Homo-oligomer: A and B are copies of this chain.
């Protein structure tokens, strides 16, 4: 397809706003008479509040109100940012109360202080006195699953929030294993990590003059948030208005409704005055959401040619204290396990999501796939090793192919440029030659190369509803206002939506002004930013709305020039006669007429909903070369490239930015990041950016990025997902590079200096 605006590396729509400080985040909005709330958090990891005394806090100057678990609605609500499902069987687990007397994790929220300043509220917290009855703290999922352990949520047996599984294939799984020439088994485990978005969780709420509750919040999912607010207070949805200003990142942590029900409730306790909850980084890291730590036991039956005959996985997902996204992340891991390397004979999988007394795990960029890909791609290299084959050959023999159809959903994947991606990545690091070269090394500093591949969907169909909304209004000068229900959270959505609108109408990019603030009262409906869905799903809505606007313009222009609309085109905001390319007039002329012609005035606009019933897999490959210092356990990345097939690349510049960020996140997961807990109390040990080791600029190698563009027929502009994919394959590529360098298979993250050094010592390498 020959696009004029789509595909160009135009400047981000929000670039200037962000670098000049004009962008208004939730915390930047001045609100007269704002009150500040602070949450009182439990100082035990598991147990019950026996008594609470807030009288001293209430007596403090500047304290407006103290509320406790006794005051909040006796309603359990779900927090996951999923579209609502009318079928109760598929609704999210509702296990959360705003404030609780059952303490399910260290820091669980028991009470809230509302004061005239943040400082006063913080001081008042210290005056609250609580007596607890403690229960044993359960931090390990397999421990928590054992019979006889206390139930973190009453009635949830063995703390298993959910279990799912499948056993599919032409023959029984055991028989399939029996037919294999080799059986390779491995246990792989990823550690819980945190999103570490720049902007912490922040929200405030007030009541308007109609007693509607307005919540201004840093969320990825304003419309879903509105629905959950209604559930949390048992009020009609129309009573809530959710406003999302500019937001400083979410990565899935804000695909959960964390602060909003509390602030919404708190404002009702102070006559509708605005109440702000602005979490500290320490709170955000420990008490919002994390990425699940997941343990995979994988077993593969392989033919001597390296074909996967039978595959089996047992997945145990450590969910922390509350359900959040519940079992859907483990379920996605199962799906990916089945789909990415289809076994010839049989596949079996059992997945468990287990409550523990630690931070609630929820959505995070990749939604389980970084974990399962770490396991599968580590396992692929383990198989290659066992069979003494080239790891790429093993992959290419077994991986998903273009045109294949998922037998469980019936979805066909029309484009798959995995082979091309692999070729570029391999070539970039001279994989085959170096792999051989690095196979046998001595010395304290060793090098290795590794590679990993992945696939990732675009949106959630057919698991969930996929709906997008867009509204376009043409101004008097031919420029347009674009409104999306979809949310910009830093990923560049506004930019590519603007490009799409310009492309389809026939405008220069600069003619499109997109509204940054989402407001459930004003914005079209869209479920929000998650599942890398927006450019794919919401993009369909932009295209539809833009097409409608284009049609209306051409109809008006046609009647003006006594021509058929189909004989006219809009090119660079001019009305052009197709047959000879002559510009008959400019768009501004037609637009002005649409506003002011006394006989025919009708402003040109469109307001559409788009229901999307397709999905497409994006693919990619990361190849890396590392240098491992055995004596320090430090891994240096010498060279790393990610190559993506995300269909048509909508904006090369912002797409590269996405990949850089994703690679950084995956490198952090691989080499450094882990949430640590005191094993006895469950108290978080490193919930701050000093002790939690995120990669910084000092740790960042040069990121090489390539795209193999395909044009997927299901994407609005041939595009497929790109938001999450970059965060998947770097971690296993690094693991495999370290494996190549040292001969040691590290099956757990993080592969940080301490863990590596201890293992090297254990293995006698140092």
Q: Mark A338-356, 1 if CB is under 8 A from B, else 0.
A: 0000000000000000000
A607 vs B521: C-alpha distance when bound (angstroms): 14
**Nearest-CB distance from A626 to chain B (Å)?**
41
Give A237's nearest chain B residue, CB to CB.
B476
- Residues 574-623 of A at the B interface (beta carbon under 8 Å): 588, 592-593, 595-598, 600-603, 605-607, 609, 611
| Interface membership of A522, Cβ < 8 A | yes
Q: How far is the CB of A514 from chain B (nearest CB, A)?
A: 10
How distant is A214 from chain B, measured CB to nearest CB, in Å?
11
Q: Which B-chain residue is minimally distant from A212 (CB atoms)? A: B513
Q: Which of A58-66, A78-86, A106-114, A197-205 contacts B (4 or more CB under 8 A)?
A: A78-86
A432 at the interface (CB under 8 A from B): no
Q: What B residues does A20 contact at CB under 8 A?
A: 209
Say yes or no for A686: interface residue by CB 8 A criterion.
no
A699 interface contact, C-beta 8 A: no
B522 touches A515 (CB 8 A): yes
How far in angstroms is the closest Cβ of chain B from A612?
Answer: 10
- Interface assignment of A481: CB less than 8 Å from any CB of chain B: yes
Q: Within the assembled complex, what's the spacing in Å between the Cα atoms of A727 and B473?
A: 37
User: Are A607 and B607 closer than 8 Å at their CB atoms?
Assistant: yes
Docked pose: A333 CA to B479 CA in angstroms: 39
**A74 at interface, CB cutoff 8 A:** no
Give the contacting residue for A236; candidates B86, B479, B595; CB below 8 A: B479
- What residues of B have a CB within 8 angstroms of the CB of A18 in the complex? 209
- Tell me, yes or no, whether A16 is within 8 Å of chain B by CB: yes
Q: Is A702 an interface residue (CB 8 A)?
A: no
- Residue A53, interface by CB 8 Å: no
| Distance between Cα atoms of A272 and B21 in the complex (Å) | 12
Task: Tell me if A's interface is mostly helix, strand, loop or mixed.
Answer: loop
| Known contacts A30-B32, A611-B600, A22 near B522 by CB under 8 Å | no
Interface positions of A from 214 to 253, Cβ below 8 Å from B:
226-227, 230, 236-239
- Docked complex Cα distance between A464 and B238 (Å): 38
Q: Is A134 an interface residue (CB 8 A)?
A: no
Residue among A16, A469, A511, A598 with max Cβ neighbours from chain B (10 Å): A598
A294 to chain B, nearest CB (A): 28
Which residues on B sit within 8 Å (CB–CB) of A212? Answer: 513
Given A611-B600, A611-B602, CB of A595 within 8 Å of CB of B84: yes
CB neighbors of B among A330-376 (8 A): none
A210 an interface residue at 8 Å Cβ cutoff? yes
What is the chain B residue whose CB lies nearest that of A596?
A: B84
Complex CA distance for A611 and B226, rounded to whole angstroms: 35
Q: Which of B13, B238, B483, B593 contacts A86 (CB 8 A)?
A: B593
Bound complex: CA A69 to CA B236 (Å): 56
Q: How far is the CA of A243 from the CA of B532 in the complex (A)?
A: 34
Minimum CB–CB distance for A421 against chain B, Å: 32
User: Shortest CB–CB separation between residue A65 and chain B, in angstroms?
Assistant: 19
Is A720 on the interface with B (CB-CB < 8 A)? no
Query: Cα distance A691–B592 when bound, in Å?
Result: 46
Interface residues of A in 455-495 (CB under 8 A from B): 462, 464-465, 467, 469, 471, 473, 475-481, 483
Does the CB pair A475–B607 fall under 8 Å? no
CB pair B30–A601 under 8 Å, yes or no, is: no
**Scoring A residues 1 to 25 as 1 if CB is less than 8 Å from chain B, else 0, what string do you get?**
0000000000001101110101100
Q: Which 3 A-B pairs have the closest CB atoms?
A: A17-B209, A238-B479, A236-B477
Could you jot down 17 A-B contacts, CB within 8 Å?
A: A17-B209, A22-B208, A30-B31, A30-B32, A86-B596, A227-B476, A230-B476, A230-B477, A237-B475, A238-B475, A238-B476, A238-B478, A238-B480, A238-B511, A465-B598, A467-B595, A525-B603
- Known contacts A238-B511, A483-B522, A601-B611; 7 additional CB pairs below 8 A are A84-B592, A239-B477, A465-B596, A515-B521, A602-B611, A603-B609, A606-B607
